[in-house]
């Protein structure tokens, strides 16, 4: 039997979940350039809470036998998200932003695995940062154009300390391949990574639904006015 390295197992084992997350209405619309500021800034706020949880737990477990090996320079998103939140929400951003229900669920899961099985933090680390360094770079350009942004509000996607993203990702995969873990632990991390993708998917769907609510209310109000007008006209004709 040919042994498959962990990085490849992780990629192959999450391929379906990755595709499902990319096919949510929110991401699909995003990729088509359909991005509204209200939804996007809620995404930024959600990311602030998610990365705050992930990076605080990674820091607490920096001496962990496995997790500590992924405490790499240049990845932290906290400061970038603070600046993006300041742009979208103003100087009182900390008093304004709140995580959505699904974002809070995501945050809770990160803390839960950190407390019970810290090695599963690898799943969340992989899901977020590798995505940010890959597809996230495409999303940056789309958001910049759709929201008419210049050099503000998009720091989340910037990794100034990582000059060569391709080389960095190769090094990251090498670290995964050299982790001294058994197949059972690998399988547990893959399972958790799939759950991480689902948590992202739930959050995207929630944001899309929240964005649609004002439009639905407007349409329902219009429909009610239309029905009332038709009812009045019928009575008048009688």
Q: What is the pLDDT of residue 217?
A: 41
Collapsing DSSP states into helix, strand and coil, what is residue 193? helix
Share of the chain above pLDDT 70, in %: 87
* 58, two tokens: 């990674």
Query: Could you give the domains of the chain?
Result: 6-237 (1.20.910.10)
- The more confident residue out of 4 and 117 is 117
Q: Residue 171: what pLDDT?
A: 96
Summarised one tens digit per residue, pLDDT across range 30-52 is: 888 888 899 999 999 999 999 99
pLDDT for res 235: 53
Separation CA 211–CA 51 (nearest Å): 23
Q: So what's the pLDDT on residue 2?
A: 41
What pLDDT, in 10s, does the model give residues 148-187? 988 789 999 999 999 999 999 999 999 999 999 999 999 9
Q: Is the pLDDT of residue 212 over 80?
A: no
pLDDT on residue 118: 97
pLDDT-derived band at 234 (thresholds 50, 70, 90) equals low
Buried-state track 118-140, b at ≥16 Cβ within 10 A, e below 16: bbbbbbbbbbbbbbbbeeeeebb
Distance CA 183, CA 111 (A): 24
Mean model confidence pLDDT for the chain? 87
């Amino acid at each position: 039997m040919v042994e498959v390295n962990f990085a490849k197992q992780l990629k192959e084992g999450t391929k379906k979940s990755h595709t499902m997350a990319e096919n949510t209405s929110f991401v699909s619309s995003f990729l088509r350039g359909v991005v509204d500021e209200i939804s996007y800034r809620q995404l930024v706020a959600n990311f602030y809470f998610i990365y705050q949880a992930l990076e605080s737990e990674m820091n607490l477990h920096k001496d962990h036998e496995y997790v500590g090996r992924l405490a790499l320079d240049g990845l932290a998103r906290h400061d970038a998200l603070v600046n993006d939140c300041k742009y979208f929400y103003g100087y009182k951003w900390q008093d304004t932003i709140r995580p959505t229900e699904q974002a809070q669920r995501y945050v809770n899961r990160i803390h839960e695995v950190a407390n019970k099985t810290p090695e599963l933090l690898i799943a969340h680390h992989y899901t977020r940062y590798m995505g940010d360094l890959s597809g996230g770079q495409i999303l940056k350009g789309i958001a910049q154009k759709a929201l008419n942004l210049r050099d503000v509000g998009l720091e989340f996607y910037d990794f100034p300390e990582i000059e060569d993203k391709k080389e960095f990702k190769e090094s990251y995969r090498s670290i995964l391949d050299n982790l001294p873990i058994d197949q059972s632990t690998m399988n547990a991390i893959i399972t958790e990574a799939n759950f991480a993708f689902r948590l992202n998917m739930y959050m995207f769907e929630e944001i899309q639904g929240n964005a649609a609510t004002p439009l639905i209310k407007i349409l329902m109000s219009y429909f009610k006015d239309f029905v009332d007008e038709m009812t009045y006209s019928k009575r008048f004709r009688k």
